[in-house]
Chain A
Amino acid sequence: SQQGEEDPQALSIQEGENATMNCSYKTSINNLQWYRQNSGRGLVHLILIRSNEREKHSGRLRVTLDTSKKSSSLLITASRAADTASYFCATDNGNKLVFGAGTILRVKS
């Protein structure tokens, strides 16, 4: 079952621009996580935000969480060609991660 739904499904930007991806979910969560997947490879954990946090930063990544709206956003600033990948949000209810369908990001150089 998919808990998170990402928006947009696909995003194409120029190198140096910012990329924003959104995630909505349906049930209460302990935390929400973002992952990156390069074509057919394993997922890489990017950042985790707990349900009592509103914003978190890690390098060029900024994640926000609004539990009242059951939504999160991932901002990648000053994007690079190497950021081209699929990005997934995943909600953690304690027993498992439930992944959304993902956003495909293409950064053109």
Chain B
Amino acid sequence: EAQVTQNPRYLITVTGKKLTVTCSQNMNHEYMSWYRQDPGLGLRQIYYSMNVEVTDKGDVPEGYKVSRKEKRNFPLILESPSPNQTSLYFCASSFGGGWGYTFGSGTRLTVV
């Protein structure tokens, strides 16, 4: 089944403890992206990647890192999480401009 797989689905962590949210797609998509969704603010793009080893900042990149060493994987790294990064995170992938995105099921992160 064609899908984007995110892990974990739920995560509660403490301020400052590094964490990684994994994202993997099995559709050979060139483009991958991370979004966060917050009430009243909608979906905002964090980082995106047009291809392997090519990443770029979205609208809210502060406090996040990404890497794209392989085409299928695009992990999101929070080096020192803070409570304002409590949010619902989505990974998405696509063949690129002009194509629809496939979204993962989401990761609900709580930083205390």
Contacts and interface: CB of A to CB of B under 8 A. Distances in A.
Interface in A32-65: 33, 35, 40-45, 48, 50
Contacts of B102: 45
Given A42-B105, A44-B103, A45-B102, A98 B97 contact: no
Nearest to A102: B42
Interface residues of A, number: 25
A95 B98 contact: no
A101 interface: yes
- At the interface, is chain B mostly helix, strand, loop or mixed? strand
B100 A96 contact: no
Contact of B48 (A44, A92, A96, A102): A96
Given A88-B43, A99-B43, A102-B42, A43 B103 contact: yes
Interface string A75-96: 0000000000000100010111
Interface of B: 4, 33, 35, 40, 42-45, 48, 50, 56, 58-59, 88, 90, 92, 97-106, 108
5 closest cross-chain pairs (CB), A and B: A45-B100, A42-B103, A99-B43, A94-B97, A43-B103
19 contacts: A1-B59, A30-B97, A35-B101, A41-B106, A42-B4, A42-B106, A43-B43, A44-B103, A45-B100, A45-B102, A48-B100, A88-B42, A92-B98, A95-B48, A95-B50, A95-B56, A97-B33, A99-B43, A100-B42
